[in-house]
């Protein structure tokens, strides 16, 4: 087995991440493996080296002025486990509370397919703006990003 080197491309690191998650048992189904393989994580973490983006760690994406983390991208294994437990089926409508980088919304949209729809909601307008920009740049057309209080849901997409 060849391990990625320090100079590995994002594509090599991405493929290695999917293999690692499958071998570890965090990815169990073909649907989740396909979603993880289809959505490149490094685009959602533009200020993070790809080697870190594809590693098994959380990545802090926003801090308070006095230092504590306010937002982060969860580790890929955490996301894979959540997706496996959620069991998103084609053509489903999904509401995600806590947009983060938009990466999980993109994975959810891949699972729901062209006939499905994902609405992702976050209270922070900077977070939703950044996620919206990334999702738009990557041509994700079945995802709506809204700024608002998640506990209120989003009735128009229910």
Give residue 42's pLDDT: 97
Cα separation, 22 vs 80, in Å, equals: 9
Residues 145-155: tens digit of each pLDDT: 999 988 877 77
The sign of the dihedral angle between the CA atoms of 41, 46, 47, 50 is: positive
pTM for the model stands at 0.91
Each residue of 73-103: b (16+ CB within 10 Å) or e?
Answer: bbbbbebbbebbeeebeeebebbbbebbbbb
Active centre residues (catalytic): 74
Full set of structural domains in the chain with CATH: 10-157 (3.40.50.150)
**Mean pLDDT score across all residues of the chain:** 92
Residues 104-146: tens digit of each pLDDT: 999 999 999 999 999 999 999 999 999 999 999 999 999 999 9
- For range 59-70, the mean pLDDT: 90
Which ranges in the chain belong to alpha helices (H)?
Answer: 10-24, 30-38, 50-53, 76-86, 103-112, 125-137
């Amino acid at each position: 087995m060849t391990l990625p080197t320090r100079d590995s491309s994002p594509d090599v690191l991405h493929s290695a991440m999917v293999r690692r998650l499958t071998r570890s048992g965090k990815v169990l189904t073909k649907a989740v493996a396909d979603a993880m393989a289809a959505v490149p994580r490094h685009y959602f973490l533009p200020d993070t080296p790809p080697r870190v983006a594809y590693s098994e760690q959380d990545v802090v994406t926003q801090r308070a002025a006095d230092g504590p983390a306010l937002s982060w991208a969860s580790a890929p294994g955490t996301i894979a486990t959540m997706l496996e437990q959620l069991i998103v089926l084609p053509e489903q409508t999904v509401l995600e509370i806590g947009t983060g980088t938009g990466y999980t919304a993109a994975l959810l949209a891949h699972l729901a397919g062209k006939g499905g729809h994902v609405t992702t909601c976050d209270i922070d307008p900077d977070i939703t703006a950044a996620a919206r920009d990334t999702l738009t740049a990557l041509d994700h057309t079945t995802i709506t990003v809204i700024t608002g209080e998640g506990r209120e849901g989003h009735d128009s997409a229910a």
